[in-house]
């Protein structure tokens, strides 16, 4: 871009790390003016790795009492199972984006009928987040 002598511009830089840890960089701004050459600006940031757990299950093939949704339960590091969704979810998939590094999670799913009666629990799955 070309600026006239009294013009200004705002430049926005977005940091999008692909790994965890400290990262540095440099932004070079070149000028062809008689009193300025290149201005180097130091950039730095700290990247974090985000983890998630994706669950999926098969809907019952037949049921005397039709399924209207599913409740997903999670336990953290062997603790008590707690409901993670606020109301039965009609999907047969769930992504937990709230997991943290160095933690182990246990999950079960229960189907729910139109009277909000839950089925027995699914098999339990354990996921350890690196």
pLDDT over 70 percentage in the chain: 98
pLDDT for the residue 35 = 76
Mean pLDDT of 92-113: 95
The most confident of the ranges 18-27, 30-39, 66-75, 95-104 is 66-75
What is the pTM (predicted TM-score) of this model?
0.65
Q: pLDDT for 6-65, tens place per residue?
A: 888 898 888 777 677 888 888 888 888 777 778 888 988 888 778 999 999 999 877 778
What CATH number has the domain spanning 53-128?
A: 2.60.40.10
Domain ranges of the chain: 53-128
Residue 19, number of CB atoms within 10 A of its CB: 8
15 vs 95, higher pLDDT: 95
Contact between 24 and 42 under an 8 Å Cβ cutoff? The reply is yes
Question: 85-93 — which CB contacts under 8 Å span 24+ positions?
Answer: 88/112, 88/116, 92/56, 92/57, 92/58, 92/59, 93/54, 93/55, 93/56, 93/57
């Amino acid at each position: 871009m070309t600026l006239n002598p009294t013009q200004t511009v705002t430049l926005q830089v977005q940091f999008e790390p692909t790994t965890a840890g400290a990262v540095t960089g440099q932004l070079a701004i070149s000028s062809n003016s008689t009193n300025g050459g290149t201005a180097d600006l130091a950039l730095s940031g700290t990247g974090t790795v985000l983890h998630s757990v994706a669950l999926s299950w098969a809907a019952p093939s037949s049921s005397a009492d039709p399924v209207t949704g599913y409740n997903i339960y999670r336990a953290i590091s062997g603790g008590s199972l707690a409901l993670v969704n606020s109301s039965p979810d009609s999907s047969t998939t769930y992504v937990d984006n709230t997991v943290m590094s160095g933690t182990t999670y246990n999950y079960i799913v229960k189907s729910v009928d139109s009277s909000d009666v839950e089925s027995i629990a699914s098999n339990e799955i354990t996921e350890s987040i690196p």
